[in-house]
Amino acid sequence: MSLVFAGVTSHGPGITARPETADPVVRDAFFAALGSMRQQLEAAKPDALVVIAAEHFANFFMNNMPAFAMGMADVYEGPIEDEAWLKIKRRDDIPGDADLSKRLITEIMQTVDVAFAEEWRFDHGISVPLHFLTPDYGLKIIPVNINCQGPPLTPLHRAWAFGEALRRACDKVPERIAVIATGGISHWPATPDSGKINEAWDRDFLDRWSRNDRAALTAYTDAETYRDGGQGGFEIRTFIALAACAGGQGDVQFYGPIPQFAVGCTVGVMDIVEP
Amino acid sequence: MSLYALQKLLFTLNRDPALQAAFKADPAPVLDGYRLTDEERGAMTAHDVGLLYVLGVNGQILMHFAAFCGFAWPDYLEAMREGVRRHGPVRAGVYALTSSLDEKVAGL
Ligand SMILES: [Fe+2]
């Protein structure tokens, strides 16, 4: 049928691994916003959920790093992280839809060279958002990865092109498709800087995202992003692809820096506008 | 500098329980399978997370090895700071230290 829901959320592993360390007021407001996002997602009655993620070497490594990859399997596994650490139970029965993936990928390939993968192990980049949005794992998931981790990284204007291609593909299938992007915004994960957050940079980015300002969203150089948003800031690619996919104005329903989660925690939903 | 081989080893070790068992029993034969410098080899054998950090191992790979070696999260952060104290700034990659060495950014 078409795209029926578009949203963005953070995915820092601290969100599930160490919730007790965060300021309860900000944390509970963030969790409430995620709960509200879940309700909005369910109200859209999707048949499948595409998750545009930025993985951390769960499946892809510098021996063969795709700029874009998409899952094409009936079942997925995850999370790869230690269950006791991430506090999300590992499953090997997360439902996918290989046939739907194949149709989406076939259409995307008309304009963007996306790699496909008939096996995929989720890391916290997908498992943390799903833990809040589809905790009973009843919704079919289609994972997407944009290389935000091993330079040379996917250029921002190509992330935009991928989002447009994904939208065209969604509009050509009979199923109702929801899409979420996860990542960012500024953060310095897995370093001694973990917990540093550039709130001003985050808010400026979210302003560009909310306006769906293509030129402003794709204007960052990687050097600027690295300086102002850290190596975790490279994950803005997922939010940019989502904006291109949805096409409308974004509603930032929650933003709050939580150093113990290493990110400015974000929940946003974007209007879907006809291309 | 053979950072690629070092990271390939860690990436493989992170996800392969059989290799983890072999590495625990005797790291030398496992390390023989990768073209490592003596410094890289020594860091792996000594579980020197701080030196691995300075050598440029991506944090998303290194944090799993630190957990495998039994480092709690605050100890992992401190090991990286200690690595920079002993060996100087991070030599490669994008996981450099930008906070000061005595700063505990998130209180950890
Ligand atoms: Fe991430």
The tens digit of pLDDT for each residue in B22-44 reads 999 999 999 999 999 999 999 99
Q: Does the distance separating the beta carbons of B105 and A190 come in below 8 Å? A: no
Domain that holds residue B77: 3-87
Cα–Cα distance measured from residue A108 to residue A166, given in angstroms and rounded to the nearest whole number: 6
Q: Is B97 on the interface with A (CB under 8 A)?
A: yes
> How far apart are the CA of A191 and the nearest CA of chain B, in angstroms?
6
Q: How far is the CA of A238 from the centre of ligand 1 (A)?
A: 10
User: What is the pTM assigned to this prediction?
Assistant: 0.95
Does residue B77 form part of some domain? yes
Angle between helix A236-246 and helix A156-172 axes, rounded to 10 deg: 40
Rounded-to-integer distance, Cα B14 and Cα A29, Å: 35
ipTM topping 0.85: yes
Question: Is B29 within the bounds of a domain?
Answer: yes
Residues of A in contact with B7 (CB under 8 A): 61-62
- At residue A84, the pLDDT reads 87
Helix, strand, or coil (residue A2):
strand
pLDDT at residue A121 is higher than 90: yes
* Cross-strand bridge partners of residue A268: A8, A252
Tell me the pLDDT tens digit for each residue of B72-83: 989 999 999 999
Domain total in chain A: 1
User: Do the beta carbons of residue A260 and residue A14 sit within 8 Å?
Assistant: yes
Choose the closest CB to B97 out of A81, A192, A226: A192
Report H helices in chain A. Answer: 14-17, 24-43, 83-86, 98-108, 124-133, 156-172, 199-210, 214-217, 222-229, 236-246
CATH of the domain at A211: 3.40.830.10
Average pLDDT across chain A, whole number: 96
At B64, list the tokens. Answer: 């799993």
Q: B interface mutation test: which of A191, A231, A263 has the most B CBs within 10 A? A: A191
pLDDT band at B101 (very low <50, low <70, confident <90, very high): confident
Q: How many domains does the structure of chain B reveal?
A: 1
CATH of the domain at B38: 1.10.700.10
Determine the average pLDDT of the residues in A227-246: 97
Of A32-41, B1-10, B22-31, the one with minimum mean pLDDT is B1-10
Interatomic CA distance for residues A237 and A222, integer angstroms: 11
Find the domain containing A137 and state its range.
3-272
B26 touches chain A (CB under 8 A): no
pLDDT tops 70 at residue A240:
yes
